Structure 1
Amino acid sequence: MDMKDSKLFSPLKVGSLTLKNRVGMAPMSMDYEAEDGTVPKKLADIFVRRAEGGTGYVVIDAVTVDRNYQYIGNTTCLDSDSLVPQFKEFADRVSAAGSTLIPQIIHPGPESICGFRKIPPLGPSVNTNANCHVSRSISIDEIHTVIRQFGAAARRAEEAGCGGISLHCAHAYMLPGAFLSPLRNKRMDEYGGSLDNRARFIIEVIEEVRRNVSADYPVFLRISGDERAEGGNSLEDMLYLAPKFEAAGVNLLEVSGGTQYEGLEYIIPSQSKRIGMNIYEAAEIKKVVGIPVYAVGKINDIRYAADIVERGIVDGVSMGRPLLADPDLCSKAYENRFDDITPCGSCGGSCITRSAQSPQCRCHINPLVGREYDFPDVPAKKPKKTLIIGAGPGGMYAAVTAAERGHNVTVWEADDNIGGQLNMAVVSPGKQEMTKWLVHLNYRAKKAGVGFEFGKEATVEEVRRFAPDAVIVATGARPLVPPIKGTKEYPVLTAHDFLRGRFVIPKGRVCVLGGGAVACETAETILANARPTAFTRGYEASIGDVEVTLVEMLPQLLTGVCEPNRAPMLRKLKKGGVQINVNTKILEVTDHDVKVQRGDGTEEWLKGFDYILFGLGSRNYDPLSESLKEFVPEVHVIGDAVKARQASYAMWEGFEAAYGL
């Protein structure tokens, strides 16, 4: 299909607004918000850049109607007329870039962080949020006040020149979503009990919004097509309510799914979740309304999006993380340049997970998120003969960046293929999508003329003979085997080698030392490989039952892994009968036994294992840089060669080092 002729890239009328295409940017928490409720330039730039890239509309997340009830940090506000001028500047920038701005108007309700200021959050009933703050049941008078606040905020959005507004009533989350869901709403008045009563709040909000804006001013509504939780709202409930939302004044329905606390992996479907998580529910809802219906939730391939729109399954799509990965996704797709699209790997990384090192929204594969205009796409002032040592994610990103800026780039890789440790990371079930990153970087590298030498072990003398102007050392990391008693006396097996296929575990009892991503993915892969019903010839060839034990020193497994990935993996491990030992320190190993110390100080032997694997992480590996600095004019060390971390740091540092050449 030529995208220029596709329905996805045809206009769509939504109320008084005509969208130029049917791709919207879904709301996402960014953590670039300002303390005073305004929209700082860095945050606005993210949306303007996606507008420049051809996106039909962009939704800014969580614009509150009352600053006294902040969302999950600094919160953008439209609770005062004084905020309209700065919001208008933002909306005008988006419009000038060829798109339209849609603020998501919210009251965080139970999810407010106001509890940190000793102010109880407001909820339909008593609920406990992620911060262990307990909401109080909002009174009828307060309900009416909040409804008026929604109307006033919508008026301000229209005055600011926004193309429309969006309301959030999904995921049993924030005030409207909490009212609608039986999982949160336990009231015994006219706003509780029956489905109609639970929907009363959001319908009254929609009606108040309509009274405060002009006729046909677009109102979008996000709903969960199915909360996918026992006792939650079902698709049947939404089929009943959707026409009522339309009658109240909604112009477009955006169908998501899941609930915030019971099933975050359905809201932000990451590894192992199928593409188009909510397409079925959206298609069914489309049958009962006369307004456009968009789907959201792991629609991470623009050709898939075009197909479901072309077939009339939905009217359009909302895309979040794919537009972080590539702000020009729409314009590249329109030009049928699919290989040029930087792909989202559904990794659940720093777009979702925050840390002290990365407290704001970033993207593994796009180092420019949050600094959209800081690195102009211009050629280097002076081309340099550049050597990249290592073809993992960081080395590949460095090679691509340097070559695309005009440098003469050669990559030496000791292995026989690209990928580095990512070759190990994609082995466990559900992680295949991250291969997209290296497929894309390999395509760009070849297009830019990068030279590769595989099976090439870099040495100081080899580099001296090559005589580069600049070297980027991306030699990665090696498995960490701490000096635990017994590691010198007995053979050591590592989870890294297992995931690389250097040995197999056909059956038996296995102890994996560690509880981070590598250890847990090793356990998951061992279970996945155990196929006792598979056809085999002879006992020695058979694959049989396995028993897996994990030993982790920390209080929990998968610390630092995003919840949409962590929760499903924990369920798989428990379902597979994995014996989980946390708060447990490893004291000694033999060929079949492990001595541990429990959290209470007691010691014991875990005995009778056929395999003991070390999955305790990695240690940086940089045997070259200091020597190279003696004769190479410019030497940079990036990624795990500096410190073992996520692949994102390698790619970000690879980009910056190469850009700075």
Structure 2
Amino acid sequence: MDERLQPLFTPWKIGNVELKNRIVLTSMGGTDLFGWMEKNHFDEAGARFILEVAKNNVGLVLPGCQPVYNPMFGQWLYKNKKMYRDLAAWMPKLHATGAKLFVQLTAGFGRSFTVSKLMEDLYTNPVLRRVSKPFMDLDRICATASPTPNRWSDKVPSREMTVEEIHEMVDAFRRCAVLLQEAGVDGVEIHAVHEGYLLDQFTLPYVNRRNDEYGGSFENRYRFAVEIVQAIKQACGKDFPVSLRYSVVSKTKGFREGALPGEEYTEVGRDMAESERAAKYLQDAGYDMLNCDNGTYDAWYWAHPPIYMPENCNLEDVEHIKQFVDIPVVAAGRLDPRVAADAIAAGKLDGAGFARQFLADQAWVTKLVEGRPEDIRPCILCHNGCFNMCHYKGVPNDQELTDSLGLSRCAVNAETMQWKKHRIVKTSAPKTVHIVGGGIGGMETARVLKLRGHEPVIHERSGELGGTFIAASAESYKGKLRDLLAWYRRQMDELGIEVRLNDEVRDVAALGAGPVVVATGARPKVMRSVPGHELMVEACDYLTGTPVGDCVVVVGGGLTGCEIAYELALQGKHPVIVEMKDDLIAQTGVCLANSSYLREWFALHEVPVHLEATLAEVRSDAVACRAKDGSTFEIPCDSVISSVGYSPAPIAPKGKNVYLVGDCKEVGNLRNVIWGAYETAMKI
């Protein structure tokens, strides 16, 4: 192991509970022990994930947040006693790993509840609203400190919680904590004065405008969180640890408006001055640890950093707040383990929190301990599998219901939280399987086939593996994607998979009668009806080295086009985005944390964006565009990049013993490619 990492593997204490090391799995919705958005029960999939992480050298594990009042079916978490007995029976397995378990309890979401189109329909139709109330009472679920707009929808507002409802919830925390203590759990974490969830909404001035004992003064705004820990300590004793998930600074400018790194702004939530006071106040109330990051749902990219956010984005603020408390402090948010170890060694931090990396590779800490960092399958911060709640103009959470109910899966690891569907089953009839195309889809197919006992052979027409992912990972900020590409190439070597480079297959019949997997990707769409279209640079060509000038028009404001414009701006060039839809990144599968960062970054840095505009003509020094009203306008420029999408380009149709994988089957994102490749490899 790298000696620099050693401070991460020293013991520490939370209250009287000693932990073997300072690695903390922080909670993610979907990894719950009592179910996620379903009737409460002991969840075997969540338990499997937690146990797998615990087996791999993690000191403290926190399952996904568990609402004390379940949004689905209106259940109180303390009422199903059987699941606590099931948890008690399971706890010896967890403790045998040497890890400790804190269960995270949440008051809920309030105005941050992710309203979908279906939920809007249920709420706005009086009949459906009444009929759906027993299993989804949106009026109760979305209630918050004061009447405020929902983060996702203008059609489902949040009303003010009653004092009786607050007291009922405080009592629910107490009851649940007692049952968890009796089940052998090592502590609880309260979720939270964090990320703009319900408890946090009570503390934030821009949400809480109450004039009773839960609003107004500093003490009143923090009263809800204080009453919870006091009730738990009274019931469970002072030695039962209670951690608090805590956002140091809200990083919020207003409703649905975050503050980007380095931006000068006026804080409407919790600023650092209040946080210095609040941290000590919450410690003195009884909390035994602060598990910290930054942000709210209005500034979601702080708590769920996309790849555009700087590494260790929350660390400086967490180190600062540690100076004001005597209890342990944990930091989370794009943490580099080595940087976290340095902070621990310097006494600036007590524990290091990691989440999504465990979805990509549950054994990544073990691989660090064993000195095998190159074997770690990296998280690429895409949110495509774990948290693809997306939102754009006029549309609430645009996410498939299966994704809403199945959080904490992983785009780069098809097995995570899908073990019943995606698992390696050895073949009883080994075959030689030819794979045409050595991109991510081809390599994932080959990897799974090899693990099953087949002999895959990759035919790649270029001189290197990677396909279009070479271009997709080319931008300066996409180091994690390049790490994933390196991981796949290493897997081909480690598994001894035959790879034939500079080997173009034109006819799959030449490969014999055995199974053939076609993974030849897609071809870019060309705007042939636009005069001068031949003057445009295709997006992948730009990403792989075709030079462009200073002022560059990017045609297409989807994710790829926006990421290219972002890269151009980082290089000091002057991009202009032209998009035919009424918002940027108006597409499913892209998490709001990712898309809102780019939209707000372009606004802050005054990158020109022309929405509801179409390309009319390309000239050597300008483009002509047509606005929604039919008028035309010109944009002077040096270069034009086309990013208007791709079309499948299989070299053969699907047929007997011919399988299509990846973009040559259907153009999608990396999750579609990897999961589809895995499933195809399991069929052969």
What is the 5 A alignment of 1:3-402?
6-30=6-30, 33-67=36-70, 70=71, 78-80=77-79, 82=81, 83-88=83-88, 91=91, 94-95=94-95, 99-108=99-108, 109-112=110-113, 116=123, 117=137, 119-120=139-140, 121-130=142-151, 131-132=153-154, 133-171=156-194, 173-229=196-252, 230-261=267-298, 263-299=299-335, 301-354=336-389, 355-356=399-400, 358-359=403-404, 360-361=406-407, 362-372=409-419, 380-402=427-449
2:256 is matched with which residue? none
Tell me by how many angstroms 1:201 deviates. 2.2
Tell me by how many angstroms 1:421 deviates. 1.7
Q: Does 1:432 align with 2:479?
A: yes
Contact 1:171 1:260 in 2 (8 A): no
> CA separation in 2, counterparts of 1:372 and 1:212?
38
Contact 2:4 2:338 in 1 (8 A): no
> CA separation in 1, counterparts of 2:111 and 2:380?
32
> CA separation in 2, counterparts of 1:576 and 1:14?
43
Q: 1:376 to 1:123 in 2, by over 3 A?
A: closer
Contact 1:385 1:468 in 2 (8 A): no
Tell me by how many angstroms 1:198 deviates. 2.1
> CA separation in 1, counterparts of 2:45 and 2:381?
24
Tell me by how many angstroms 1:216 deviates. 0.9
What is the 5 A alignment of 1:575-654?
575-586=604-615, 598-600=627-629, 602-604=630-632, 606=634, 610-626=638-654, 634-654=657-677
> CA separation in 2, counterparts of 1:192 and 1:349?
38
- Tell me the SS of whatever aligns to 1:61: coil
Q: Does 1:656 align with 2:679?
A: yes
Contact 1:219 1:252 in 2 (8 A): yes
> CA separation in 1, counterparts of 2:314 and 2:422?
37
What is the 5 A alignment of 1:499-514?
499-502=543-546, 504-508=547-551, 510-514=552-556
> CA separation in 2, counterparts of 1:459 and 1:135?
59
> CA separation in 2, counterparts of 1:90 and 1:22?
23
> CA separation in 2, counterparts of 1:163 and 1:407?
45
> CA separation in 1, counterparts of 2:537 and 2:276?
55
Q: 1:480 to 1:654 in 2, by over 3 A?
A: same
2:494 is matched with which residue? 447
- Tell me the SS of whatever aligns to 1:137: coil
Question: Normalised by the size of structure 1, how large is the TM-score?
Answer: 0.86
Question: Normalised by the size of structure 2, how large is the TM-score?
Answer: 0.83
Tell me by how many angstroms 1:103 deviates. 2.0
> CA separation in 2, counterparts of 1:350 and 1:364?
5
Contact 2:422 2:679 in 1 (8 A): no
Give deviations 1:6-49, integer Å, cap 9, x for gaps: 33233333234333332222111229625323243333333233
- Tell me the SS of whatever aligns to 1:402: helix
- Tell me the SS of whatever aligns to 1:548: strand
Give deviations 1:201-252, integer Å, cap 9, x for gaps: 2112111110111341121111112222313212332332323322322222
Q: Does 1:522 align with 2:542?
A: no
Contact 2:383 2:591 in 1 (8 A): yes
- Tell me the SS of whatever aligns to 2:63: strand
2:524 is matched with which residue? 479
Contact 1:224 1:256 in 2 (8 A): yes
Tell me by how many angstroms 1:476 deviates. 0.9
> CA separation in 1, counterparts of 2:479 and 2:5?
31
Gaps of 5+ in 2: 124-136, 253-266, 390-398
> CA separation in 1, counterparts of 2:418 and 2:591?
23
Give deviations 1:566-625, integer Å, cap 9, x for gaps: 12222333345443232335566677776665445x353546555443211111110135
Tell me by how many angstroms 1:366 deviates. 0.7
2:394 is matched with which residue? none
Tell me by how many angstroms 1:645 deviates. 0.4
Contact 1:85 1:160 in 2 (8 A): yes
Q: CA RMSD in A?
A: 3.1
Q: 1:422 to 1:597 in 2, by over 3 A?
A: same
Q: 1:577 to 1:118 in 2, by over 3 A?
A: closer
Question: Taking every aligned residue pair, what percent have the same amino acid on both sides?
Answer: 26
- Tell me the SS of whatever aligns to 2:268: coil
Contact 1:345 1:435 in 2 (8 A): no
> CA separation in 1, counterparts of 2:575 and 2:554?
11
Contact 2:522 2:647 in 1 (8 A): yes
Q: 1:81 to 1:4 in 2, by over 3 A?
A: farther
> CA separation in 1, counterparts of 2:594 and 2:627?
27
Q: 1:373 to 1:339 in 2, by over 3 A?
A: farther
> CA separation in 1, counterparts of 2:319 and 2:608?
42
Contact 1:515 1:557 in 2 (8 A): yes
Contact 1:257 1:267 in 2 (8 A): yes
Contact 2:367 2:376 in 1 (8 A): yes
Tell me by how many angstroms 1:192 deviates. 2.8
> CA separation in 1, counterparts of 2:635 and 2:313?
43
> CA separation in 1, counterparts of 2:74 and 2:289?
25
Contact 1:78 1:156 in 2 (8 A): no
Q: 1:465 to 1:618 in 2, by over 3 A?
A: closer
Q: 1:215 to 1:4 in 2, by over 3 A?
A: farther
Q: Which amino acid aligns with 1:550?
A: V
> CA separation in 2, counterparts of 1:75 and 1:372?
29
2:259 is matched with which residue? none
Give deviations 1:366-396, integer Å, cap 9, x for gaps: 1112223655556544443232222221112
1:568 is matched with which residue? 597
Tell me by how many angstroms 1:74 deviates. 7.3
Tell me by how many angstroms 1:479 deviates. 0.5
Instruction: Report how many aligned residue pairs link the two structures.
Output: 630
Q: 1:4 to 1:649 in 2, by over 3 A?
A: same
1:550 is matched with which residue? 578
Tell me by how many angstroms 1:483 deviates. 5.2
> CA separation in 1, counterparts of 2:514 and 2:207?
63
Contact 1:172 1:180 in 2 (8 A): no
Contact 2:472 2:540 in 1 (8 A): no
Tell me by how many angstroms 1:86 deviates. 4.4
